[in-house]
Each structure stands twice: as structure tokens, then as C-alpha cells.
Copies of this chain bind each other. A is one copy, B any other.
Amino acid sequence: QSSVQVTGLADVYAGSMKMAGDASRKSVVNSGGMTTSWFGFKGTEDLGGGLKANFQLTSFIQVDNGTQGRFGGDTFFSRDANVSLSGSFGSVLLGRWMAPNFLPSVVGNPMGDSFAFSPLILHMDVPLFNASGWKATVPSDTGWSNQIAYSTPDIGGFKANLQYQFGEQAGDNGKKNVGANFFYFGGPLTLTGFYERAQISNPGQGTYLGTTKKDWMLAAAYDFKVVKPYLSYGQAKADNNPDKAKTLQVGASAPLAGGSLLASWAKTDLSFSDLDRKTFTLGYDYYLSKRTDVYAMYMNDKITNQSTGNSFGVGIRHRF
């Protein structure tokens, strides 16, 4: 009767970490070296006539210490909590789901969704709680609550999502997040991009950000087989902040000894503060099976006027 898939990913690594601006180095066992660990429940029901009902309930976890959520105050199903109807028309989804920025950023760099070692993801999504005071450039998390999202069907490799988050602010019914993204997967060529205009915080129910933030990015990759180069460029700006963040990323993956050599360099220029962040990561990823890979990563991280960081980690990522 019941038709639920229990699924997830456990990724944990041992490493020595020092980010730009850190006062000291730390030996760690940490979660999510390549992908933020998660577990959850998903299902699809065939309603006939090509129509399907789908649900997703997925939760971020920290496999090193057993804590639920990505950070203090994260909500339980902050990764996904939604129901959708899909068919030949595409899909209509209600609930919490990825923000428009997330999947393009993952597809647009060779380290995917590594919140520990991908230079692009680090610049966009991960604040540093050290002397550098680095802030994530994305306006409002990588997931949005209270969404209505429309996804187009796949048309010759092209797909797009239109996303609207109700602000649900008492006495101020107009505040909202809106955005869109697109993907083109045509043989060796990948093209992707997003635009967001955000006024509401995430995760959870959300509050007014006190300003309007805009963010966009375009990215491309091309698989030459011997090497797959990646290129992305984007900008982020809040109405109440003179700084515009401009992020350029170049990267590549290449087959090597049965695994993949991965390299990525990202530079974010904060235009008004006249601050630069430059992060370079070199890594190797080896698949023991379709579901399990081991990896080693080295990262160099620099911010103007801050101590330089060098980090390395060796880990295992297991899908279930």
C-alpha cells in the first residue's frame, strides 16, 4: 500500500581546516566534505493519464556529531518539504524547495554542492564567523519556504523553473521572494543561470530582510572527455548596501587513474569595500561503487587584509 522511498547521503571527512581570516588551524572530523549530508522520505504516485502526485520530505544532518540541520536554528525538513503535481504540462509544486540559485551553482562548478571545498559555493553560500566577516552573497538561503513553483517540461534539453515565495508577513502582504532559473543539457554542453529578487529570510517561516536583494549568475560547462571546463559569472546586490559582489569562477574536471581530478578557482570582488576573496581548490574523487566515493581535497583561501587559509580533507560519501 505505502510507497515511500527512504533515502539520503552520508558524507564525512577528516581534515585540517583554516579558512581565510581564521586565527588558528583546526583538526576535525566534519560532515559534508563533498555534499551536505541528508536523509528523508520521497514518493511518487501515478494518478493515470500521465499525471503524478509527488512529495519530498528531506532533512540536512551533521554526520560528524549527529546534530540535525546545517546550523543552529535550521528547520527539520529545510532541504525539501513539498507536494507537487506533474504531467506533460510540467510540474506545479507547493511548499519548501530549492531556491532558484541553488541548482545552477551546483551544476556550474566541478565540486558540485560542496559547502566545505567548492570555491563557488563557499563564496555564495557560506558566511565566515571569523575576523573576515565574510557574508554569503546569495540573498536568502539555498532553499525557499512557502513557494508556488512552476517547472516546465524538458523541451529538447531545456528546462526552466519559475518560483514565488509568499512572504506571509503580518500587515505587509506584498513582501515576497521571486526568481527563476534555467538549464540546458545538450550533449557535451551545459548552460544554466538564475535570477532572484528576495525580501524574505530563510529557512523556516521567514521575516522581512529589511531591504530588497538581487542576485544573478550564468554558467557554462563543456565536456571534451579529456577535460570538462567550467565557467560562471554572477552579481549580487542589496538595496541598502553599496557593495556589489561580482563572482567569477573557472574550473575543470578530468578523468585520472579511474577517478576524477577536480580544480576550481573563484574570485569575488566587493566593489565598494574594495575587498577581494580568491579561493582555489584542487581535489581527487574516486568512486568505489555507484553509491560510494572517497575524495581528497586541498584548498587555498585568501581575503584582502586577512590571514590566508589552507585546508585539506580526506573523506567518504555514501548514498543510500
Identify the A interface with B (CB < 8 A): 2-8, 10-14, 23-31, 39, 41, 43, 45, 47-48, 51, 53, 55, 57, 61-68, 75-83, 85, 94-96, 143, 145-148, 166, 168, 170-171, 173, 203-206, 288-289, 291-292, 315-316, 318, 320
Contact = CB atoms under 8 A, between A and B. Distances in A.
Contacts of A6: 2, 4, 6, 41
Given A24-B173, A292-B47, A64 B81 contact: yes
Contacts of A79: 66
A66 B78 contact: yes
A61 to B, nearest CB: 6
A70 to B, nearest CB: 12
Q: Which of A68, A292, A315 has the most CB of B within 10 A?
A: A292
15 contacts: A2-B5, A2-B6, A12-B94, A23-B171, A26-B170, A45-B289, A55-B63, A57-B61, A63-B81, A64-B96, A64-B146, A66-B77, A66-B78, A68-B76, A83-B318
A253 B61 CA distance: 40
A27 B169 CA distance: 9
A194 B31 CA distance: 28
Given A7-B2, A62-B81, A316-B83, A291 B45 contact: yes
Given A148-B14, A320-B4, A66 B27 contact: no
Contact of A43 (B53, B65, B204, B320): B320
Contacts of A7: 2, 4
Given A5-B2, A77-B68, A318 B288 contact: no
A316 B96 CA distance: 15
A292 B45 contact: yes
3 closest residue pairs by CB, A with B:
A65-B145, A68-B76, A66-B77
A311 to B, nearest CB: 13
Contact of A75 (B13, B66, B95, B206): B66
Contacts of A55: 10, 63, 318, 320
Nearest to A143: B66
Q: Which of A10, A30, A65, A77 has the most CB of B within 10 A?
A: A65
